[in-house]
Amino acid sequence: MFGRAALLCVLLGVWIGARPDAAARPGGEKRGDADTKPGPDAKAGAGTKSEAAPDNPWARARDPSAGPAGSIGGYSSGCLRGAGRLPMRGAGFRVAEPERRRFFGHPALIDFIRRLGRDVHAAGLGVLPVGDLSQPRGGPAPSGHASHQTGLDADIWYVNGAGKSWPPKKVEMVDLERQKTTASFDRRVARVLALAAADPHVDRIFVNPVIKRELCAGAGKARGWLHKVRPWFLHHEHFHVRLTCPADSPDCRPQEPIADGDGCREVDWWLKPRDEADRSEKQKEYRSRQGVVPLLPAPCSEVAPR
Ligand SMILES: [Zn+2]
């Protein structure tokens, strides 16, 4: 099965890795801005794309590679050396789908989730069901994502009564047809996202545009945290956290910085009917790239499963 959320993550990674341009937005903001830039990984050796091998060796890895921890390459064309493993549960979090074995990450990501879980728990916000991080050695996954390759991306489901029942259900916070929040959407969404955004290791967080619109409307003067919260297709039942390149990873390729400001004006592009054709065009573009994986940076050959 290939759920909508999984598809979205594929599209997200492809978009990030492959967009050749970032058109200027009305009002000076950029549409998709940093998320759409090809990033250095499209140039520096990783560059060209090749068809995904039907037998993806990265999916065969059962354990992390030896060696010091290191994120190598770009979020959508890289790998992960010396991964850490997220415990199945801790204060304020729990791995939602352990059978997927995508609970590996750079130690900075593992630490982040434990920190966020503690904050969420301390604030009485429930338990975060943690979705996919990376495969044991990162790299391209055969399904579900194009990013999540360097152990710095995590999908976290929105909490909603989490902890009361397990396994959890993904709770939809947005009615995609009507472009409105559902009855499940409440102030916990903003509180959890604000806690995550406050973490200095977080580079950006992807959420559905309707959620960003609501966050913008509900934020008061303290709205600096909105800067990191980026609108993206779907992401109505989970949010995606991306960390910055860790200090121990000189081969990690960062994404372009997000434009200054709270990013609230660009929500228009995502939601206004007049831009529908433009959005559809972008979606077609991502879909045309599904199933294509990048060639990886040379150091990944040392990390690849044999
Ligand atoms: Zn994701």
For residue range 76-86, list pLDDT tens digits in order: 999 999 999 99
pLDDT in tens, 16-65: 333 322 222 322 233 332 233 332 233 233 333 344 445 788 999 999 99
Band of residue 163 on the pLDDT scale cut at 50, 70, 90: low
Q: What is the arithmetic mean of pLDDT over 256-285?
A: 89
| Contact in structure between 172 and 117 (CB atoms under 8 Å) | no
Highest mean pLDDT among 23-32, 42-51, 142-151, 209-218: 209-218
> Would you say residue 260 has pLDDT above 80?
yes
What CATH number was assigned to the domain covering residues 71-288?
Answer: 3.30.1380.10
**Ligand 1 center to residue 240 CA distance, Å?**
5
Mean pLDDT along residues 274-300:
79
CA 233 vs CA 81, 174, 197, 208, 238: distances in Å: 30, 11, 19, 6, 11
The pLDDT assigned to 280 comes to 87
Average of pLDDT values for 263-286? 86
Q: Is the pLDDT of residue 220 over 80?
A: yes
Centre of ligand 1 to C-alpha 244, Å, is: 15
The band of 287, judged by pLDDT with boundaries at 50, 70 and 90, is low
How high is the pLDDT of residue 248?
97
| Residue 187 alpha carbon to ligand 1 centre in Å | 23
What would you report as the CA-atom Rg of the chain, rounded to the nearest whole angstrom?
18
> Ligand 1 mean position to 236 CA, how many Å?
12
Distance 132 CA to ligand 1 centre (A): 7
User: How many CA atoms lie less than 13 Å away from 1 in the CB half-sphere?
Assistant: 4
Of 40-49, 232-241, 282-291, minimum mean pLDDT range? 40-49
Residue 252 phi/psi, 5° resolution? -75, 135
Residue 107: half-sphere exposure toward Cβ, Cα within 13 Å: 9
Calculate the average pLDDT of the chain: 82
| Residue 12 CA, ligand 1 centroid: distance in Å | 8
Distance from residue 95's CA to the centre of ligand 1 (Å): 14
| CA 189 – ligand 1 centroid, Å | 17
Query: Which residues place a Cβ less than 5 A from the ion ligand 1?
Result: 9, 155, 240
Pairing of strands 77-81, 84-85: unpaired
Task: State in Å: Cα 26 to ligand 1 middle.
Answer: 28
Answer whether 194's CB lies under 8 Å from 214's CB: no
Q: What was the pLDDT predicted at 37? A: 30
Determine the pLDDT at residue 42. 30
What is the share, in percent, of the chain residues with pLDDT greater than 90? 64
Q: Does residue 75 register a pLDDT over 90?
A: yes
pLDDT for 159 equals 82
CB-side neighbour CA atoms (13 Å) of 102: 28
Cα(156) to ligand 1 centroid in Å equals: 8
Q: What residues does each domain of the chain span?
A: 71-288
CA of 8 to the centre of ligand 1 (A): 8
- In the reported structure, the alpha carbon of residue 105 is separated from the centroid of ligand 1 by a whole-number distance in angstroms of 13
Using the mean position of ligand 1's atoms as its centre, give its distance from the Cα of residue 146 in Å: 9
Of 163-167, 275-279, 290-294, 298-302, minimum mean pLDDT range: 290-294
- Rounded CA-CA distance 193/156 in Å is 10
